Structure 1
Amino acid sequence: MTRVWFITGASRGLGRAFAEAALDAGDQVIASARNVEPLADLAQRYPEDLVRLPLDVTDRAAVFEGVQRAVAAFGRLDIVVNNAGVMLLGMLEEATEEQIRAHFDVNLFGAVWVTQAVLPHLRAQGGGRILQVTTMGTGGGFPMVGLYAAGKSALDSVSEAAAMEAEQFGVKTTIVQMGGYDTGLFTTGTTTTTPDPHYQELRDKLVEMWGDDAGPAPATAAPVIMELVDLPDPPRRLIVGAASYDMVQQDLQDRVEKYRAWEHLSRKAPG
């Protein structure tokens, strides 16, 4: 059975890879992005199965209108992928209010607006899948990317609640915690703060630690997503990336050990 996908942030990176994999599998795709011109080649290859939808997910009214157009395109939505995202790179003290609000408008509120807009349609048709693309770093912050982790962590928590609310309608949600892929997020998708010289030593150490490796190609993650959407009982959360899986497991273990180290103090309060 041909499935209909609605993918945000589909013009590049993971969104583009997921759209291409879905089309290659014989599915139909509504690919949304602020600029859909990079999808012209896919539109030529799949003229009957790909609809390009210009959309700014920060505009709630436009999102609801766009979802209506998406439903009208193929008559239904089966798989919704909230993938649109940007990066705010810099120390917390350096970030301006405008930068922070713009960042959350995309990474958190944009995904919330899409989820609100698609749920009535999925409920009416008796089910569907929602994939909320977050990150393997939602378990905690890290210097220079703390606001990115914060937005994705908030989406992680909201998605957990929404998943429990919507499962009674046959809607199955998976929080897809992506590892590091060469998506262009740190280049075309990045806003950089104005450096404060007080943080230069730490900044230099981080740049050296990260190195020049941009990570594997997004297309290498697409087979996992295709297998995920085929599962009759998908997981609520899924880490995508072998190295990222190991890092998350180590982080969880370290956190448990730190909690236990201070258990004696925690238990002094009755709450």
Structure 2
Amino acid sequence: MTTGRVWFITGASRGLGRAFAEAALSAGDRVVGAARDLSPLADLAAAHPDDLVLLTLDVTDRAAVQKAVDEAVAAFGRLDVVVNNAGAMLLGMVEEATEEEIRAQFDVNFFGAVWVTQAVVPHLRAQGSGHIMQVTTMGTGGGVASTGFYVASKSALDALGQALAMELAPFGIKVTIVQPGGYGTDLFTLGTTMAEPRSEYGELRARLAEMWGEDAGPDPRTAAPVVMELADLAEPPLRLIVGGASYDMVRQMEEARAAEYRAWEHLSRKAPG
């Protein structure tokens, strides 16, 4: 058995989670992979019988999350890198989404990560180290029509991650908000819920489809080396955009936002505070 780092990765069966698990195992680390459906990981488990532990987990079940984390620590004695990667996508205009769909979106993307974070922190604090990676999205700077609830859930996790980093710094625990672009994962197929469309938004929906095109995005495995290098850093950044094209887009969004603030500074300054 290796003596490298121990990773706990949610949503490990597909996409980015699978890519991170593969990269960690290839580096000689050990991995606890958690997902609702573990069948896609059968080949990886067969190739790494001593270094990969698989746990069936629905991150929206808080009690199940606590049990899984305890089992992960029992399996390898510690946790070094925790990756809150499990996620789902709700596509629909704000008016179209049902209460059930909206709550389900936040249950997975936000509350699921919260439950994992709350479960791992006591273990990381006891060992005086650890690195929590909150996987959000490069789009947390602003929502795009029909992705509003997805981005809102990820933006909430982004904001929480910044507070978490301040809270955990005294205990030697690092936090990084990982903001990937659009990689070719199952998020947009198996992981997507479509709200019932309203005809009033047909024209806008058509424009969005044309804007996005049919490119599935790069292979998730191309993002894994960046996350591996991030895990190696003694002083990792609070936020990291993953993807060159995504970096450029975020810079443009930030510059546009700053320009709008400046344009309306005169009105802002009319109020005290």
TM-score bracket for the superposition, by shorter chain length: over 0.9
1:154 corresponding residue in structure 2: 156
User: Stretches of 4+ moved more than 2 A in 1?
Assistant: none
In the alignment of these two chains, the number of paired residues is: 271
One-letter amino acid of the counterpart of residue 154, structure 2: K
Partner of 1:58: 60
Question: What residue is the counterpart of 1:27 in the other structure?
Answer: 29
Identity across the alignment (%)? 71
- 2:51 alignment counterpart: 49
Inter-partner Cα distance in structure 2 for 1:215 and 1:255: 26
1:133-170 deviation digits (Å, cap 9, x = unpaired): 00000011110101110000000001110111011101
Partner of 1:250: 252
The letter for the 2-side match of 1:139 is G
1:204 match: 206
From 70, 73, 89, the equivalent of 1:71 is: 73
Structure 2 regions of 5+ residues with no counterpart?
Answer: none
Helix, strand or coil at the partner of 2:43: helix
In the alignment, structure 1 segments of 5+ residues that lack a partner are none
1:83 to 82, 85, 88: 85
5 Å-filtered alignment, 1:154-233, equals 154-233=156-235
Root-mean-square deviation (CA, aligned residues, Å) is 0.5
**In 1, Cα distance between the equivalents of 2:152 and 2:259?**
23
- How far apart are 1:33 and its partner, in Å? 0.2
Deviations 1:163-184 (CA, angstroms, capped at 9, x unpaired) = 1101110100100011110011
Q: With the length of structure 2 as denominator, give the TM-score of the two structures.
A: 0.99
Secondary structure of residue in 2 paired with 1:32: strand
SS in 2 for 1:101: helix
Q: Distance in 2 between matches of 1:93 and 1:259?
A: 28
Aligned-partner Cα distance in 1 for 2:248–2:158: 19
Q: Secondary structure at the match of 1:174?
A: strand
- CA drift of 1:37 comes to 1.0
User: Which of 114, 120, 123 is the matching residue for 1:121?
Assistant: 123
Structure 2 residue corresponding to 1:139, chosen from 138, 141, 158: 141
